[in-house]
Structure 1
Amino acid sequence: MQLCKSALEVLEETSRTFYIPISRLPSGLQEAVASGYLCMRAIDEIEDHPSLDNALKAKLLQIISLTLQAGTHEMKASDLSTALSDYKELLPEVSLRIGEWALLAPDTIAPRIWDATAAMADRMAYWACINWQIKDKADLDRYTFGVAGAVGLLLSDLWAWYDNTQTSRTQAIGFGRGLQAVNILRNHAEDLTRGVDFYPQGWSDEQMHTYARENLRMADEYTAALSLGPALDFCRIPLALAHATLDALSQGEAKLSRSTVMDLVKQLTSTPV
């Protein structure tokens, strides 16, 4: 199966960080990982939508979850586009086309991606309903697992499906949690302006930095255990960018500059980007 050009274009528009490693994956695995990423990004855009109220966010996420749970080999992209048609003026392209992304993956792994997306949509709906109230570290662990640690588990399943690469599932969760924790730190000020705070009550930036680094240590162990091949090639780039972003935030910078990102990716891929 060849990833359609339109999907690659949407992938590049939504995240160059993940577009680069996904575009380098071999055929078959590329479609599977792109399907998973675009489906997750589709629901993430709903969770983070700046103008939708929380009740509508929860409703849309539950519509997506239920539609995917009813999915079979006969599922059509229109099943989801029809379910979301009443909201086409509100939602971004990546969300409206989630039905297409769900069908990108090979048939032998697509249901695992539908399951992961449906479960994540349900978890996001729950957090939207309670306005992302993170009371303590246990809540933070629940949230970062629900929206990112579970992605690490999905990736581990995709590596095993493609070439039987076996990974630590605990470390896979740390991989996802670590990347998400860095995102929480990077977006903290912006999140506060829309009335959302992912920090546990009373936590400082220093405590969140510690949480991020603890999980990135597991991500480092996860990546270090991978043999040369597609899984390692994929994981190295977002992990390196997460470490660099955390270092930049520690030094008072708002984010990595585009030139720094480009230089780092070039070092990791040895090819122009």
Structure 2
Amino acid sequence: MTDTQISIENPESLLATSVDEFQAILLEGVSRTFALTIPQLPEGLYSAVANAYLLCRIVDTVEDEVSLSVEQKKHFCSTFIEVVRTGKEAEIFARDLAPLLSVQTIPAEHVLIQLTPRVIAITHSFAPEQIDALLGCVETMAKGMPVYQGMDLHGGLATMQDMNEYCYYVAGCVGEMLAKLFCHYSPEINQHREQLLELSVSFGQGLQMTNILKDIWDDAQRGVCWLPQDIFTETGFDLKELSTSTDSPEFQLGLEHLISIAQGHLKDALTYTQMLPSHETGMRNFCLWALGMAVLTLNKIKQHLDFKDSNEVKITRKSVKQTILTTRVIGRSNFLLSLLFDLKSKNLVCKDWQYQANN
């Protein structure tokens, strides 16, 4: 049994660890991907970004908890905003929420909720500008995500704009927060603040759209669809008819359109990353690893438009390792990064989409 497993089984034992160790163990439990990428960040950013992710995960835990009613979710979300804002009553929040979590919530998230007071104490150890960035993200997520609770999402969202708004609430605002933290960390980066903030929303949307496309069938089994009907109206498919038995060229064409949109957002993500100083290799790696894995995932979806399970389009560990190695080798060169992105994403663009959209 590893130290991490021992700590997860004995939450109080984590209280004696250092801030970085405490957050690293929690991250490993709730997200191996971020447990891999966040440590790439420089020392002045690591703790704040790790804490930010844990705060977001607390909101996600509330939103995903099947035992909570819509009103309970709204209550805990609004309460958590005030906990983050003031740094007070985190113990009450944890005490009230923890017993309500079901077995469908993973053990590591149970622990995270129980240890909310220490997470919040760490939040309020940061500089005021950092706290403001974290609070802004939590407030946007915690106010925006409950809007979708109780909605009938069996037939998807109505429009692409609705999908954009959803992606902003769950990912775009996270991108904004990271951009603000990056700008606070580096005066050199702060010179490009406005453009980075704009691109960061697109970065977040590209990653979230990739996840939505990958998880179509997992979501469908829960009676949920995050795809926009207007895109599929153009191709002649009604999302209300979506099921794991769907084998429709019209549906697959709609997927191609969304893949093309996601590719455009990931291209913005590359531009964002290229604006970070080349000597900030840790920050670039943090961005490039996520970007690279998203491009590879979209390629798998494009190659297997008839997939019926997310495992069919999940990239391999070998691909993850290759992404890490490649970005470490060429990550400082904007020219090589552009060349590689164009090579890996050229098949993601739906060339006939504009024609069909206008005819």
TM-score for both structures, normalised by structure 2: 0.67
1:46 aligns with 2:62: yes
Q: 1:184 to 1:266 in 2, by over 3 A?
A: same
Q: Can you list the C-alpha shifts for 1:36-74, whole angstroms capped at 9, x where unaligned?
A: 1111122123323355444433332222123334x1xxx
Aligned match for 1:268, one of 303, 327, 337: 327
Aligned CA distance change for structure 1 residues 98 and 126 (closer, same or farther; 3 Å): farther
Counterpart-to-counterpart distance in 2, 1:96 and 1:43: 14
CA distance 1:143–1:162, shift in 2 (3 Å): same
Quote the Cα distance in structure 1 between the aligned partners of 2:24 and 2:285. 18
Name the amino acid aligned to 2:122. Answer: L
Mapped to 1, the partners of 2:264 and 2:113 lie a distance apart of 32
Larger Rg: 2
Correspondence for 2:127: 107
CA distance in 2, matches of 1:221, 1:29: 21
> For residues 69-94 of structure 1, what are the alpha-carbon distances to aligned partners after superposition, in whole Å with 9 as ceiling and x for unaligned?
4x1xxx25xx2241232331306233
1:66 alignment partner, one of 57, 82, 90: 82
Gaps of 5+ in 1: none
Corresponding position of 2:144: 123
Please give the alpha-carbon distance, in whole angstroms, between the structure 2 residues aligned to 1:143 and 1:26: 31
Please tell me the residue identity of whatever aligns with 1:180.
Q
2:159 aligned with 1:141, yes or no?
Answer: no
2:318 and 2:36 mapped to 1: Cα distance? 15
From the superposition, tell whether residues 147 and 182 of structure 1 become closer, same or farther in structure 2 (CA, over 3 Å): same
Compared CA separation, residues 53 and 197, structure 1 to 2 (3 A): farther
1:37 to 53, 57, 61: 53
Q: Tell whether 2:318 aligns with 1:259.
A: yes
| C-alpha spacing 1:191/1:23, structure 2 compared with 1 (3 Å) | same
Q: Is the 8 A contact 1:135 1:200 kept in 2?
A: yes
**Helix, strand or coil for the counterpart of 2:24?**
helix
Name 2:249's counterpart in structure 1.
Answer: none
Structure-1 residue corresponding to 2:242: none
Matched, 1:186 2:214: yes
Give secondary structure in 1 for the equivalent of 2:270. helix
Q: How does 1:1-273 map to 2 (within 5 A)?
A: 3-69=19-85, 71=86, 75-76=87-88, 79-89=89-99, 90=101, 92=109, 93-105=111-123, 106-108=126-128, 109-130=130-151, 134-164=157-187, 165=189, 166-167=192-193, 168=195, 169-201=197-229, 203=232, 204-228=254-278, 229=280, 230-252=282-304, 253-269=312-328
> Is 1:3–1:30's contact at 8 Å kept on the other side of the alignment?
no
Distance in 1, matches of 2:152 and 2:57, equals 20
CA contact (8 A) 2:42 2:283 kept: no
CA contact (8 A) 1:68 1:115 kept: no
How many pairs does the alignment contain? Answer: 263
Partner residue in 1 for 2:348: none
Of residues 93-102 and 173-182 in structure 1, the stretch that sits farther from structure 2 once superposed is 93-102
- Identical residues among aligned pairs (%): 27
Write the distance in 2 (CA, Å) between the matches of 1:29 and 1:116.
Answer: 16
Q: Partners in 2 of 1:134 and 1:99 — Cα distance? A: 36
Distance 1:206 1:53, change over 3 A: farther
Offset, 1:241: 0.9
Displacement after TM superposition at 1:96 (Å):
4.1
Runs of 5+ unmatched residues, structure 2: 1-17, 233-253, 305-311, 330-359
Query: SS state of the match for residue 135, structure 1?
Result: coil
Matched-pair contact (CA < 8 Å) for 1:50–1:194: no
Which whole-Å CA distance do the structure 2 matches of 1:238 and 1:152 have between them? 12
Question: Which whole-Å CA distance do the structure 1 matches of 2:150 and 2:83 have between them?
Answer: 20
Q: Is the 8 A contact 2:203 2:265 kept in 1?
A: yes
TM-score using structure 1 length: 0.86
Q: Which has the higher helix share?
A: 2
Closer, same or farther: CA 176–185 of 1 in aligned 2, 3 Å = same
Bigger mean CA deviation after superposition, 25-34 or 91-100: 91-100
Between 1:259-268 and 1:20-29, the stretch displaced more is 259-268
TM-fit CA distance, 1:131: 5.0
Which amino acid in 2 is paired with 1:226?
L
